[in-house]
Structure 1
Amino acid sequence: MNELRPTMPAFETGAVSHAGRVRKANEDHLVTRPEFGLWAVADGMGGHENGALASATVAAALEGIGAASSAPDLLARLEEGVLKANAELREIIEAKGGAPMGSTLVVLLVHERHFACVWSGDSRIYLVRAGRILQVSHDHTEVQDMVDKGVLTPDEAKRSPRRHIITHAIGVHDQPELDLNNGELESGDTFVLCSDGLTEHVADEEILLAVREAAPQAACDALLALTLERGARDNVTVIVVRYQREDGEKTRWLPNMRSEAP
């Protein structure tokens, strides 16, 4: 019996992943499955071997997600894949005597005109629309919690030595914790998924400028080059996904979005 394959909008995808200038191995993994309406970045934690294994386990669980019959079905398939990866990691951790291991995750899901952004940890997803940029995800970190409570300012958070302490990740707890943001696609929408190796060195307005001025793969290459130029202390992974219709559809700005560059 053939799987249902929805008619997918026209997407152009660029992707790049690099170990950076300091670390010897790349613990990031990425997934690009436009035929299923899924793109993802996983950033492993727990040291070289454990981190790479954690992100690879998450990526493998998402690679086989398959084509969905509806937006709710696609989300359910993602949740099933995440639960599977989380259970596998919990088993590995137990077999390794409690070794620290986990992975951040950020996912873009698309079915017809619907999109959903799902995340756990501090890997990010941005939406560029009508020349503006919005960070769709909200970092799961100690310092972000402190910013939300008014204890730190955003500038203080950027300088905090605790800015990389993550509060959610796949494999860390028996049940994974995910957040979701969703909406309707507009022609020209461009999504940027990345590990924190990019945002450690590159500001939001610089991401906007790179994406606004280049095709997706060229934008990925430019963002990687900028990160490497600035020292690339961590692994860096970037996916850029651009949606384009040919029927003259006009783009609309979403409420509460803010411009990050002129």
Structure 2
Amino acid sequence: MLTSTVAVLHDNAAHGEDNYLVRHLDDHATLDAVMDGVTGRGGREASQEVVNALSGAPLASPEAVAAILEEINQRFYQISLGRFLLTTASVVLCLGDRLHVVSAGDSPVWLIRPDTVQLLSSDARGFVHAGITRALGMQKTLRQLHRADVEIGSGDRLVLATDGVTDNMTHDELVDMVRGASSPDTAIEQMQGLIASRRAKGTLPEQLGGRFRNDDRTAIFRFFSTAD
């Protein structure tokens, strides 16, 4: 039987539009979600609405998660016709030894193992440039809602993040940091240290564009192990 430990980085000082949710559903089920609200498009309200909906709903299957996101998307679109109330949403439902991912937009989800890395969401554009694509509220119907389903085991490590994180560190840096950390808290501390250092200098590696991007930053790290 698997168990897990989790830690969260959440810094909303730039725009106040990121959000997240961590739920312990029962002894064998958890839910992790990150939302990146679109600046100037009601992003703060939109990301909070997703949190509110996921917080109070019974979530026993990925279909239940998808239904909630579809309902939220339709409500946002009816209000603004795709011009307002926009946010990404990347949701991971862990049921026993399986991860079920449901996502809209470009907030990435990875499963990091000792020898492999698997992108479980639809996009990871933040490592190259900022960009919100296929966010909730942009279309009347979520035709691009991404789904993934994967078996997990002891030693696997889950990461969800917004582009305030991924714009300011490379993919290899993130993977090495997660693999080398003894706990999710340690990984968060190392990430905060690296980003703080780059923010103070105002510069990034050339492959990330050379200039620090000041944005809200949210990440969830969940490490899986065998229960005693």
Normalized against structure 2, the TM-score is what? 0.82
Q: AA paired with 1:103? A: T
1:75-86 matches, cutoff 5 A: 75-86=62-73
Please report how far the alpha carbon of residue 10 of structure 1 lies from its aligned counterpart in structure 2 after TM superposition: 1.0
What do the CA deviations read for 1:188-215 (whole angstroms, capped 9, x no partner)? 1110000011110111221122222231
The answer to whether 1:174 aligns with 2:140 is yes
What do the CA deviations read for 1:197-247 (whole angstroms, capped 9, x no partner)? 111011122112222223112212321332232225111100001111147
Distance of 1:221 and 1:50 partners within structure 2: 30
The answer to whether 1:237 aligns with 2:218 is yes
Distance of 1:178 and 1:217 partners within structure 2: 31
Give the corresponding residue for 1:50. 42
Distance of 1:12 and 1:112 partners within structure 2: 14
Q: AA paired with 1:112? A: G
Give the corresponding residue for 1:104. 88
Which stretch shows the higher mean deviation, 180-189 or 191-200? Answer: 180-189
Distance of 1:166 and 1:19 partners within structure 2: 17
The answer to whether 1:41 aligns with 2:34 is yes
Distance of 1:215 and 1:140 partners within structure 2: 24
Query: Using a 3 Å threshold, how does the CA distance of structure 1 residues 46 and 90 change in structure 2: closer, same or farther?
Result: farther
Give the corresponding residue for 2:100. 116
Please report how far the alpha carbon of residue 60 of structure 1 lies from its aligned counterpart in structure 2 after TM superposition: 1.3
8 A contact 2:38–2:132 mirrored in 1? no
Give the corresponding residue for 2:21. 31
8 A contact 2:3–2:227 mirrored in 1? no
Distance of 1:14 and 1:165 partners within structure 2: 26
Specify the SS of the correspondent of 1:17. Answer: strand
Please report how far the alpha carbon of residue 121 of structure 1 lies from its aligned counterpart in structure 2 after TM superposition: 1.2
Give the corresponding residue for 2:54. 62
Q: AA paired with 1:41? A: V
Which stretch shows the higher mean deviation, 189-198 or 212-221? Answer: 212-221
Distance of 2:79 and 2:4 partners within structure 1: 36
8 A contact 1:119–1:179 mirrored in 2? yes
| Identity across matched positions, percent | 27
Unaligned segments of structure 1, at least 5 residues = 1-7, 69-73, 145-156, 248-262
The answer to whether 1:190 aligns with 2:157 is yes
Please report how far the alpha carbon of residue 28 of structure 1 lies from its aligned counterpart in structure 2 after TM superposition: 0.5
Task: Name whichever structure is richer in strand by fraction.
Answer: 2
Q: How many residues align?
A: 210
Give the corresponding residue for 1:13. 6
The answer to whether 1:137 aligns with 2:130 is no
Q: Give 1 or 2 for the bigger CA radius of gyration.
A: 1
What CA RMSD, in Å, does the superposition of the two structures yield over aligned residues?
2.4
Normalized against structure 1, the TM-score is what? 0.72
Query: Using a 3 Å threshold, how does the CA distance of structure 1 residues 46 and 89 change in structure 2: closer, same or farther?
Result: farther
